[in-house]
Structure 1
């Protein structure tokens, strides 16, 4: 008997100083701890106020740039961005602003999703960023998941982690240590996303 092909979980993030990328990698670890699930890491190019500025077709390091076919091929999505005044970064917002065709066609409708973020200050908008990142996903018809309080570290963490999604306090210089709490909660969120996506695939 041939085993079914693994399903793909898209982990789409934007990161300037590496903290959000680290969260994305931990979520990918959680995804790939679930048999039958593969993590696909993707990022978006930066945007510039200088209109003639263009980004290279391939990033110098990290994940490749996302393509719309990644949305079509995924069975679930984890979306991450650093906070910008309590909202997602412009680069990520720009990507979603260009997804009207996928919205109209229902490309993501019925697929599970989660969100994650990092902030420069401890109270720098983690929860509002997570909540506002959910809005385009709701418009796309996705099923949103958070971090349940069955994860014990959610009650004791002082470095990040919310019921709305994984998070990390990166510090003003981006050098605040990535704690075991942040790591564990991000892995748990990735695992929950993958397990949910598998269950939805099994539905008739």
Structure 2
């Protein structure tokens, strides 16, 4: 069985990246390896070429990462209740993987962050699930047996873990959010082991 869980995210200001790191921690606590990847910015400025390798942070995802993963955690900040364009742009390039069934039967989860309580967290999670369902993936949410889903006053959802980016430290995850991120990573990894 392939042992890497792909934790793929787009993060503009660092909050979604912080979530990805905690999900990866949960994956590794469950005994699998986490492969952290991001996507490049999308620009309409043709005079500003995109670097093929990021100057800092996690590497850019490749289609090969999809072939080599046993599970996928997909994360994006909210953009008007939808996933961010850079992540959607990458997913739009996966037609060959869809046709060949590369991701079929693999478990997946989604996660998001937003700057307001009612900024479209759950619709963003649902928007990320749609292409994963088309790929034939098995969607993994968060069960209400996790006590943090009952007590959180920041982020949290049965559809996937969320983060409420509050000022003055928008990237700082709450204790409930950290617990839910780790739980999401563990649950995804355990499901990958069962399905593998």
Q: Same fold (TM over 0.5)?
A: yes
Q: Please list every run of 5 or more consecutive structure 2 residues that lacks an aligned counterpart in the other structure.
A: none
1-structure distance, mates of 2:2, 2:169: 35
Deviations 1:124-177 (A, max 9, x none): 000000011000000000000001001000011011010000110113776263
Q: Secondary structure at the match of 2:78?
A: strand
* 1:184 and 2:182 correspond: no
Counterpart residue number, 1:193: 188
CA shift for structure 1 position 76: 0.2
Q: 2:158 aligns with which of 158, 163, 169?
A: 163
Counterpart residue number, 2:17: 21
Q: 2:40 aligns with which of 45, 52, 73?
A: 45
Q: Secondary structure at the match of 1:75?
A: strand
Deviations 1:35-60 (A, max 9, x none): 2x100000000001213432111112
Q: What RMSD in Å do the two structures reach over aligned CA positions?
A: 1.4
Counterpart residue number, 2:112: 117
2-structure distance, mates of 1:61, 1:144: 31
More divergent stretch after superposition (176-185 vs 76-85): 176-185
Counterpart residue number, 2:147: 152
Q: Secondary structure at the match of 1:12?
A: strand
Q: Please list every run of 5 or more consecutive structure 1 residues that lacks an aligned counterpart in the other structure.
A: none
Report if the CA contact (8 A) 2:2-2:68 is conserved.
no
Counterpart residue number, 1:139: 134
Report if the CA contact (8 A) 1:82-1:118 is conserved.
yes
More divergent stretch after superposition (22-31 vs 166-175): 166-175
Deviations 1:85-120 (A, max 9, x none): 000000000001111000000000000000000001
Give the alignment's TM-score, normalised by structure 1.
0.93
Q: How many residues align?
A: 196
Give the alignment's TM-score, normalised by structure 2.
0.96
